[in-house]
A and B are shown apart, each in its own frame.
Chain A
Amino acid sequence: MSDPARGGHWIRPTPTGLYVEPGDFYIDPGRPVGRAVISHGHSDHARSGHDHVLATRETLAIMAGRHGQDCAGAMQAVAYGESLVIGGVTLRLAPAGHILGSAQIVLEHAGQRIVVSGDYKRRPDPTCPPFEAVPCDVFITEATFGLPVFRHPPDRDEIAKLLATAALFPERAMLVGVYALGKCQRVIALLRQAGYDKPIFLHGQLGAMCDVYRRCGVELGELRPVIGMIKEGLAGAIVLAPPGAAAERWARRLPEPLVAQASGWMRVKQRAKQSGVELPLVISDHADWDELLQTIDEIEAPEIWVTHGREEALVHAAKARGRKARALALVGYDEEGS
């Protein structure tokens, strides 16, 4: 790993995750640590087994829903906007717009402000508050879709495509592959926004997170488990399931399923075709290329650090915009919830 922080030498990448020295805590650490600040509930960011976890109330609820109430020694909930001091560092959480409870971590120390974006997106999402642009000295951004070919279309167009296809094939079930946390609830909320008020059917692995969302006040309309339905009852229905469930024997209870998948990766035809998808839906919880650039422009941070994703292209583009930019090699983040 290269020279630790130039802009802020008090925060540095380590094999465990970003380490904030004066506060002695890690951000989204990949293995159990004493003190962790967690940006959001996706499993590659929110692991269990830390002694002390600080996150939004919603993120803590998600972690408890996933790993159980005792997944960390102590849990400390912080509301968006509330600030507190840990060691010599002032910390505040700002909405990231990625999934329910997702937060950017705003850190101040020695007259310098660093913002760790976590995963984020800029377009409106009915299941979480919008991203807040916080001016800072160093902006540490994700780059999951850090190539200019990734430009997500408007959500409503994708949802319209799904509904039009369902209407054209009323004897088949629309089987939509979604990640259990975030994508699932967003697709449901988008369908409701589009006026779809029929029951939406869920694979057994999706129910628990939907319950967490509902307890946090997110409206999802009528949801029903697939299990217990007769095949004919699912003709024309929209069924959500984890990606890959289409290949499982589970899918045989559906009438001639038409396999869809909601993911930013569906943007590239070859990639979508390889995954055996018949209806790709480009719906992502990550910033696309335009949103990444828009964010860099709005934040006006003189220095940009780029973490997990395709760092090189975004570093190149940030430099072309006159910023100091570099790639931070952080290991261990996968593409969950993309």
Chain B
Amino acid sequence: MKAFAALLDRLVYTPGRDAKLRLLADYFARNPDPDRGYALAALTGTLDLAQAKPALVRDLVEARVDAELFRWSYDFVGDLAETVSLIWPKRPEGEVPTLSEVVESLQRAGRRDVPGLIEGWLDRLDVDQRWALIKLVTGGLRVGVSARLARTALATWSGKPLAEIEEIWHGVTPPFTGLFAWLAGRGERPAADATALFRPLMLAHPIEDAELNELDARAYRAEWKWDGIRVQLVAGGAARRLYSRSGDDVSATFPEIVEAMDFDAVLDGELLVGRVTDQGWQPAPFNDLQQRLNRKTGVRGLMESHPAFVRLYDILLDGGEDLRAQPFDERRRRLVAWHGAHARERFDISPLIEFADWGRLRELRAEAREASIEGLMLKRGDSPYLAGRVRGPWFKWKRAPLTVDAVLMYAQRGHGKRSSFYSDFTFGVWRRDLGGAAELVPVGKAYFGFTDAELAALDRWVRSHTVERYGPVRAVEHALVLEIACDSVHASPRHKSGVAMRFPRVHRIRWDKPAAEADDLETVTRMVVAAS
């Protein structure tokens, strides 16, 4: 528990991705099996533990601590796991149990033995270790590490390619002893679970308008880049899996898709929600999909109001036949043939767009207004399906961004290289009431898009226009206009303004523009594209 607790404690405070990777890689390098395997499982959400309710932990502490003192403390700290870990009356004593000892005991224990086990460990652990234990047994391990990041750390530490780790990820189980043996160079590469294997996706490079003319239009095929989540469908034998782009299994979130996967193939596509019309599926904006993504399982009501479908891009395997080495044009032909033979109401094919030259494609891109379109994909007709982001065969050409002139309201300090810079900017637009009085409502937050020189200038401005400070945040005079670019604007009842922006970034700093002339909320609201 010692090293694991120290790792969690450091992760909680470490905002930077690179620093997190370093902490994780260091942990994997220094700790023995099966501890590091259980830690990996806990971080990637694959640890199978009978979970304790927070109420159990509360009962334990209330039996040991003066009620009044506990109440004052809980009020002050605000988080149950942390209050308990801090207030637990005993100074640590005896051997600190290992993570494996804790996990394996809990896996063996009957329900009634769990409270006694936890209490015994709380007596042996120090504050950080108690916190880690409580988070582990109550299943609330939120330390800002995704499964993808944990796998990336395995690659960093071992030097093995991430794509290879992702391929076998779904064939290995905690405590991952075989995986670690291979990563440490002491064993064979574990066999992937061939029936439900994730194949790393082929990704596209971004391309700008101006770069297009260097490419031969005739060599490329174009299709819309749909604004959903990229998925891989793997089905064969008894196995059916729906994987996200990073290889996480999202089957449980979209049971209706899994149900329709009664075939033997591996497909690449975009998962969308929408509704069926005479012309087939009409995708809804990304925000509608977001509601489904927020749930770990399919919720009946949401499945009916936000039904999901997959718009297919590519076919990787058809039956036992691996098509990845075939050129795109051939795979496309096979995809169409496959779809003809296996028509399913949950799947359609992303259509190819006819165009003679880049000029025509530019026009089509400019005309596309549907919220569900993010831009265009360009794929070389002769490109094989390659793992990862290879420059050349595939490009994504995003739609021209929307821009909003907003007023800077708050600035927050960054981290690491930016820790002495105010680099996270909250901006707002004007809302006018009937009498014409205007107030600023925050509509978003941006922390990139500017150059280093612009950041320095913004930082100077923030420091000399601060009106109030709250910890690392400064409220500033409402006097600077930022031109904010974003991919799209969505209705969002969770925000005070009623709107949310996708990928907002600082496009230009409008030193010249008076704040009163910034956009108003009505303008921004008009940018919201309603579900069609």
| B residues less than 8 Å from A272 (CB atoms) | 13
Smallest CB–CB gap between B267 and chain A, Å?
42
Do A269 and B26 touch across chains, with their CB atoms under 8 A apart?
no
Do A278 and B415 touch across chains, with their CB atoms under 8 A apart?
yes
Q: Does A2 contact B (CB under 8 A)?
A: no
Q: Does A247 contact B (CB under 8 A)?
A: yes
Do A246 and B420 touch across chains, with their CB atoms under 8 A apart?
yes
**Which of A149, A257, A276 meets B77, CB within 8 Å?**
A149
Given the contacts A256-B417, A269-B82, A273-B12, A168 and B472 also touching, CB distance less than 8 Å: no
Do B23 and A168 touch across chains, with their CB atoms under 8 A apart?
yes
**Per-position binary interface string of chain A over residues 242-256, scored 1 when its CB falls under 8 Å from any chain B CB and 0 otherwise:** 000011111110001
Task: For the complex, give the distance between the alpha carbons of A77 and B456 in Å.
Answer: 51
**Per-position binary interface string of chain A over residues 262-297, scored 1 when its CB falls under 8 Å from any chain B CB and 0 otherwise:** 000001111011111111100000000010000000
Q: Does B127 contact A (CB under 8 A)?
A: yes
Q: Does B293 contact A (CB under 8 A)?
A: no
Do B12 and A269 touch across chains, with their CB atoms under 8 A apart?
yes
| A residues less than 8 Å from B76 (CB atoms) | 147, 149, 268, 310
| A residues less than 8 Å from B72 (CB atoms) | 147, 310, 312-313
| A residues less than 8 Å from B416 (CB atoms) | 172, 256-258
**Per-position binary interface string of chain B over residues 442-483, scored 1 when its CB falls under 8 Å from any chain A CB and 0 otherwise:** 000000000000000000000100000001100000000000
Do A247 and B420 touch across chains, with their CB atoms under 8 A apart?
yes
Q: Does A153 contact B (CB under 8 A)?
A: yes
Q: Does A169 contact B (CB under 8 A)?
A: yes
Do B77 and A270 touch across chains, with their CB atoms under 8 A apart?
yes
Task: For the complex, give the distance between the alpha carbons of A273 and B19 in Å.
Answer: 16
Task: For the complex, give the distance between the alpha carbons of A251 and B86 in Å.
Answer: 33
**Per-position binary interface string of chain A over residues 305-328, scored 1 when its CB falls under 8 Å from any chain B CB and 0 otherwise:** 000001011001100100000000
Do B13 and A278 touch across chains, with their CB atoms under 8 A apart?
yes
Do B83 and A149 touch across chains, with their CB atoms under 8 A apart?
yes
Task: For the complex, give the distance between the alpha carbons of A280 and B72 in Å.
Answer: 23
| B residues less than 8 Å from A256 (CB atoms) | 416-417
Smallest CB–CB gap between B211 and chain A, Å?
32
Do B415 and A148 touch across chains, with their CB atoms under 8 A apart?
no
| Residues of B65-101 contacting chain A, CB below 8 A | 65-66, 68-70, 72-73, 76-79, 82-83, 86-87, 89, 91
Q: Does A123 contact B (CB under 8 A)?
A: no
Do B127 and A276 touch across chains, with their CB atoms under 8 A apart?
no
Smallest CB–CB gap between B236 and chain A, Å?
44
Task: For the complex, give the distance between the alpha carbons of A290 and B87 in Å.
Answer: 11
Q: Does B413 contact A (CB under 8 A)?
A: yes
Smallest CB–CB gap between B165 and chain A, Å?
23
Task: For the complex, give the distance between the alpha carbons of A277 and B419 in Å.
Answer: 10
Q: Does A224 contact B (CB under 8 A)?
A: no
| A residues less than 8 Å from B44 (CB atoms) | none
Do A275 and B420 touch across chains, with their CB atoms under 8 A apart?
no
Add 9 more A-B contacts to A168-B23, A290-B91 (CB < 8 A).
Answer: A148-B69, A169-B19, A169-B22, A273-B13, A278-B14, A278-B15, A278-B19, A279-B10, A313-B72
**28 contacts across the A-B interface (CB closer than 8 A):** A147-B72, A147-B76, A148-B69, A148-B86, A150-B86, A153-B127, A161-B6, A165-B10, A168-B22, A172-B416, A247-B413, A247-B419, A247-B472, A250-B420, A256-B417, A258-B416, A268-B86, A270-B78, A274-B471, A276-B472, A278-B14, A290-B91, A310-B76, A313-B68, A313-B69, A313-B73, A316-B68, A317-B69
